[in-house]
Amino acid sequence: MKAPWHADDDLLTRYVHGTVGPLDGVSLEQHLTGCADCRVRIATHVDVAPLELVWTRVREQVQAPAPSLVERLLTRFGVSEPDARIVAVAPSLRTSWLLGLAVTLGFVGLGTANGGTRGLTFFLLVAPLVPVAGVAFAYGPDVDPSYEVSVAVPYSAARLLLLRTAAVLATSLPLVLMAALLVPGLSWTAVSWLLPALAFTAVILAVSTWTRPTFAGVGLGIAWACVVGTAALDRDPYAVLAPTPLLVYAATGIAAALVLRLRIRRLTPLGSLS
Amino acid sequence: MQTDPAREDPELLTAVAGGDLGAMRVLYDRHAPWLSARLTRRCNSPEAVADVLQDTFVAVWKGAERWRGDGEVAAWLWGIAIRRLVSRLRGRREVLVLPLEEVVAARAPQASAEEMVLLGVEYGDLGAALQRLSPDMRAVVQATVLDGLTTREAARLLGIPANTAKTRLHRAKAQLRQNLTEGLA
């Protein structure tokens, strides 16, 4: 549409300040859609400062790296964007970690599906340690790429560790549960390993108030491997999930949770230096 | 903020689709001011307008290649902006949409000669016929016919049930038709 007239400055001013009648407004709007000259002229009537602010935000948003899968999931579940970013930056929450975990568990599950105590032993060895490894690789000077930054900013170390632990549990436990479904006729086992898994998570969190999570994770891994190994030597790997050991895990977990509760304030970004 | 004849809007959009932030800046300077003014007439919260403007240009950055290459870039941008406004306002009661006719009630009694000329140029008799619609109906006509929303989107923008918007649009059309035929007679 070729517009035979152009808006005058008075009309533009009144339009921008909202004091123009609806029909003048509507006329001008339809005209603006087709007239580049009037669009340039109306710009001189619009306050530049807010537009510059918006431009800064646009630029930052389009230049920011695309949020990772975990980050998008976290924001979907109501975690704020800055929290999601700082949580998802942990190595054990990267897509590559989760992919590796899925593949590993796939092999473990298939090994178990083929039957025999060896596959089962392997599953029992790996499953409760998955969240432990996740937490060990979620926090601390050894593994956290944002560690230097987190030392320098006033962000609660406890909050960071707990948020990341929750994210690790939420992403890794479903994967392990799916792997457990590959195990034929083991519905009871598939659930009861959750108890040591959660107990160990509590333990690693509690120990992290003294030392680095990686050390705690390695220690726990060795201890659990000894337990499962001993049971396997007796040709009865199921023994580690007998009622008595389950009670022991539960007691350990509760004790660790209490210790964590008492010492959580001691958790500094410097970890071992506390 | 000069219109650079060497780089027309479609050309800029092609550059933006290729990740050219400089072209994006030119496009922003050219279109953000009028978009912001037009959005402000539909929503009285400066924060909401800023958010919508941001969303709009982020959407342009991501979807520049989706521009089909026909028609006005400005019209395409407005289509994005008004829909972003609709989704921004969804479920948020604290952001009030300006009743478009609020101002009118004060000034409408007689349109100045200048206004009549303006409307005559742009719409002919339609302008006068629009003037005679009730504010409610005019808001729906504006949102659907002029802003290019569906009745469902218009209802969300105006905070009324979809069926009400549909009914009002229907009645407005009938009334416009009648007013225009009377004008011819």
Structure confidence by residue, pLDDT tens digits, A81-97 = 777 777 777 777 777 77
Same structural domain, A208 and A144: yes
Same structural domain, B60 and B121: no
Which residues, at least 6 apart from A101, have a Cβ–Cβ distance to it below 8 Å? A130, A172, A175
Residue A2 placed within a domain:
no
Range of the domain at A193: 69-273
Same structural domain, A57 and A188: no
Q: Are A75 and A84 in contact (CB under 8 A)?
A: yes
Residue A3 placed within a domain:
no
Same structural domain, A94 and A151: yes
CA distance linking residue A26 with residue A196, whole number of Å:
68
User: Which site among A2, A51, A53, A58 would you substitute to test the B interface, given the most B Cβ atoms closer than 10 Å to its Cβ?
Assistant: A58
Tell me the CA distances in angstroms from B168 to A19, B54, B103, B131, one per residue in order.
Answer: 26, 32, 21, 15
Tokens of B31: 């279109």
Same structural domain, B108 and B165: yes
Q: Please tell me which residue of chain B has the smallest CA distance to A66.
A: B62
Residue B168 placed within a domain:
yes
Residue A1 placed within a domain:
no
User: Closest by alpha carbon to B32, among A37, A112, A39, A66?
Assistant: A39
Same structural domain, A172 and A58: no
Same structural domain, B53 and B119: no
Same structural domain, A145 and A53: no
Residue B143 placed within a domain:
yes
Helices (H) and strands (E) in chain B, counts: 10, 0
Q: How many domains does chain A have?
A: 2
Question: Residues A196-253: pLDDT tens digits?
Answer: 888 888 888 888 888 888 888 888 899 988 988 888 888 777 777 778 888 888 899 9
Same structural domain, B52 and B17: yes
User: Closest by alpha carbon to A242, among A179, A167, A192?
Assistant: A192
Q: Which residues of B1-13 are buried (b: 16+ CB within 10 A; e: fewer)?
A: eeeeeeeebeebb
Residue where a domain terminates, one of B46, B63, B89: B89
pLDDT given at position B139? 85
A34 touches chain B (CB under 8 A): yes
| Most trustworthy range by pLDDT among A28-37, A115-124, A237-246 | A28-37
Range of the domain at B56: 9-89
Domain CATH for B38: 1.10.1740.10
A55 touches chain B (CB under 8 A): yes
Which phi-psi region, left, alpha or beta, contains residue A21 (left: φ > 0; alpha: ψ -120 to 50)?
Answer: beta
Burial class (CB in 10 A: 0-12, 13-18, 19+), A132: buried
Same structural domain, B109 and B133: yes
Overall pTM surpassing 0.90 (yes/no) = no
Whether the complex's predicted ipTM is more than 0.90 is answered with no
Domain CATH for B134: 1.10.10.10
Structural element, H or E, at residue A214? helix A213-233
Find the helix packing angle between A95-113 and A157-182, rounded to 10°: 30
Residues in chain A within 8 Å Cβ distance of B37? 15-16, 42, 45-46
Residue A246 placed within a domain:
yes
Q: How many domains does chain B have?
A: 2
Closest approach of B23 to chain A, Cα-based (Å)? 12
Same structural domain, A156 and A255: yes
